[in-house]
Amino acid sequence: MVYSGKYLAKIKKFFEGRNPEQIKGTARWKFELHEIIFESDTVKGKMFDVILLFFIVLSTLIIMLESVSGVNNKIGFWMYILDWWITISFTVEYFLRLTSVKRPVKYMFSFYGIIDILSIIPTYLSVFFIQSHYLAIIRILRLLRVFRVLKMGNYISESNMILVSLRNSKRKIFVFLYFILLTTLILGALMYVVEGGQNKEGFSSIPQSMYWAIVTLTTVGYGDVAPATVLGKIIASGIMILGYSIISVPAGLVSVEYRRTKNQHKNTQVCRYCMAENHEPDAIYCKHCGHILNDPAEQPHTPVENP
């Protein structure tokens, strides 16, 4: 408590010695940039996001049309120029995002940060590797921001519920996948013993037999490998029936966690310090790091940490 009091006194002295207008003048442009790029509560912010979504769709269409030989032969050069112009614009936008946040590294390794950088790297790699720019199609994932831009709160809540359900089910899913791995290993070895003598092309090794077991267990059944013996067909029939029961297990695990998650309306505020989203509509401070969500020039606040 003594140390906490000392820290509070230092923080109070720090803000008393500074003019709020000075705080507002020195870093105001970063706050405005953050409001425009990361949030859609203002007119400028929403306009920026709508323009960004338009260019994401346009660039995706360009990448798709470039793979069509007829279209590429006619206007391939202009699509190439436009694609590079959009990529450079996305690069500038990416660095503006890093500039506007307090912790750029935090954003770089966030979900949207990784998607943003992966959406521009393939185009630059195309200088060294032919056709690698087609991998830039991953930038279509940036359209996930459309739910926040258009204020589709219910869709945001639904997507968050799915993510939370998957996160809560990760241990159960890991155990399930581990069980499937052991099952396919045993079944692969069993089918290699049963079919290896008479069907050497299809079951030439245990890994090849495991491939067949995975395909059969997931009820896909490509038909490229099939048992020839009676015992092999009996085992295959049992695996197919087992596959129908196994395929429903992960869906049930996620569904249980999904029902436990409450649907709550969230706003579009994004913390500049920890990049946390999905705050409550009346939230003033970030629920993760404690920093204020609005302009600190109006309400300066610094979270206090225990020494």
pLDDT means per 10 residues in the chain (307 residues)? 49 44 57 78 80 88 87 88 91 90 85 86 84 79 66 57 71 82 90 79 85 84 81 88 76 65 56 67 70 56 47
What is the pLDDT at residue 300?
A: 43
Same domain assignment for residues 127 and 206 = no
Residue 5 lies in a domain: no
Check whether residue 83 and residue 44 sit in a common domain. Answer: yes
The per-residue pLDDT for 307 is 43
Contact 242, 217 (CB under 8 A): yes
Global pTM reads 0.55
CA atoms of 114 and 122, how far apart (whole Å): 13
CATH number of the domain to which 177 belongs: 1.10.287.70
Count of domains in the chain?
2
> Which CATH number is 116's domain given?
1.20.120
Residue 241 lies in a domain: yes
Question: What pLDDT was estimated at residue 23?
Answer: 43
Q: Which of 245, 260, 275 is the last residue of a domain?
A: 260
pLDDT at 122: 87
pLDDT at 88: 93
Quote the domain boundaries for residue 46: 40-149
Q: 3-state secondary structure string, the chain? A: CHHHHHHHHHHHHHHHCCCHHHHHHHHHHHHHHHHHHHCCCCHHHHHHHHHHHHHHHHHHHHHHHHCCHHHHHHHHHHHHHHHHHHHHHHHHHHHHHHHHCCCHHHHHCCHHHHHHHHCCHHHHHCCCCCCHHHHHHHHHHHHHHHHHHCCCHHHHHHHHHHHHHHHHCHHHHHHHHHHHHHHHHHHHHHHHHHHCCCCCCCCCCHHHHHHHHHHHHCCCCCCCCCCCCHHHHHHHHHHHHHHHHHCHHHHHHHHHHHHHCCCCCCCCCCCCCCCCCCCCCCCCECCCCCCECCCCCCCCCCCCCCC
Q: State residue 3's pLDDT score.
A: 46
